[in-house]
Amino acid sequence: MSKARSTNTAPTETGADKNDEKTQNGAESDIFLDALSRMEAAAKVTHTSPEVLERLSRPHYVLQVSIPVRMDDGSLRVFEGYRVRYDDSRGPAKGGIRYHPDVNLSEVKALGFWMAFKCAVVGIPFGGGKGGIVVNPKELSNMELERLSRGFIQQIADFIGPDLDVPAPDVYTNPTIMGWMMDEYSKITRTHSPAIITGKPISLGGSLGRDDATGRGGYYCIKELEKRKGWSPNGINVAIQGFGNAGQHVARLLHADGYQIVAVSDSEGGVYREEGHNIPALMRTKQMSGRLLTEGQIITNAELLELPVDILIPAALENQITRHNASRIKAKTIVELANGPTTSEADKVLHKRGALVVPDILANAGGVTVSYFEWVQNRAGFYWTEEEVHDRLYSIMSSSFSAVYDLAQRESLDMRTAAYAHALSRIGAAIEAHGTQDYFISQD
């Protein structure tokens, strides 16, 4: 049989791999406006104050910077970067930093918006933020990457802080890069500041259990569904688009339980095996060679999405399921480990045909939850065992899943609208606590 091949990618804040090639369908609309439409749908359920919606319709702060970097050949290149602090009503902004040539302000704003709702849906005391640099990191040496990473922190140091805005890894950034950034911030402020950034190496104050947190959080959501649906894992087959950090770990955990992982893919394509993949062997090969080498039928990322599987896990990038292909998606259950893999127009098609979608702001919240644990441990100077991290993560993910699932059932909603409604109620309560028009015009 043919073999599939790929390049290596680094762990990310969400665990997603942002493909080198764009989805064949492209963006259907401005990604930020599409993100806002989810909040508008939820507002009809929660009867949220118009003032709250007005406040959440735009980011609090947007910073755009230029980062000059001296390259290894002596030349100077200037890179464009962004940091968006979308909302801090419930606590410091939280969100990753991605390195990719397609980074743009609309995307970063949308990602910051999603982070605000993601933190609220699982009840951790953070707002939403996001950052990115327009760069192809594969074209840079490690020394150039270090200079770029430190240069970015030099430009945004006054804009971030442990009590203000706490970055983390995302697409094509990793613990080493987070370590450089933490070190640079500490030099600038002349303090030891591990809580400035999460996703760091363990030796620099990172948390045990952070490496598989996004995939594990998605796995816990599937286990909750398993209880409610009465599934037998041995009879369930799964396709995973994106075999990066989140995709690998959710595959590992599901495979160990007996689920059949019949298809996986990365930025160069995928491979399908009707009998299922040997996931531990596939992970070893990927980690050692940087390639997705295994026996099976080579397929494209688009073809993987349309396979006749029970569970589809998009763990790559945004705008993968659109109005162009939604009618061909056969999976009855979709668990979104990527940020924004399904457009609002595609949601309507999936909902109409009865697909259950566990939305990104719930399914991939394990990563930011354990980032919160890391921040707490850094500030306390007291560190937890891996078992404690797993137990705390399970408690938060299972209770959050139940709250969203039960709301969806009670109000006859799809799970995405229920998740946004649940989160909007929490963010709205924080904003309304400062007073709205009704409060200020009321009389004793």
Listed residue (9, 1, 2) closest to 248, CA to CA:
9
Q: How far apart are CA 240 and CA 62, in angstroms?
A: 34
Tokens standing for residue 149: 């990473």
For residue 330, give every residue at least 6 positions away whose Cβ sits within 8 Å of its Cβ, in sequence order, or none: 306, 307, 308, 309
Assess contact for 254 and 226: CB atoms under 8 A: no
- Angle, vertex CA 355, rays to CA 350 and CA 359, nearest 5: 80
Catalytic, out of 94, 109, 130, 200? 130
For residue 36, give every residue at least 6 positions away whose Cβ sits within 8 Å of its Cβ, in sequence order, or none: 57, 113
For this structure, is 130 an active site residue? yes
- Angle, vertex CA 47, rays to CA 43 and CA 50, nearest 5: 75
What are the strands, taking DSSP E only, across 267-344? 269-272, 297-299, 311-314, 333-335
- DSSP codes joined into one string, 49-74: -HHHHHHHTS-SEEEEEEEEEE-TTS
| Percentages of the chain per state (helix, strand, coil), in multiples of 5 | 50, 15, 35
DSSP bridge partners of 357 = 334
Helix (H, G, I), strand (E, B) or coil at 302: helix
Burial tier of 222 (Cβ tally within 10 Å: 0-12, 13-18, 19+): buried
Residues in the chain: 444
Q: How far apart are CA 285 and CA 279, in angstroms?
A: 10
Assess contact for 347 and 414: CB atoms under 8 A: yes
Q: How far apart are CA 317 and CA 129, in angstroms?
A: 18
Q: How far apart are CA 412 and CA 418, in angstroms?
A: 9
User: H or E element: which one contains 239?
Assistant: strand 237-241
Tokens standing for residue 71: 């390259």
HSE-up (13 A, CA, CB side) for residue 403: 18
Q: Which residues are catalytic?
A: 130
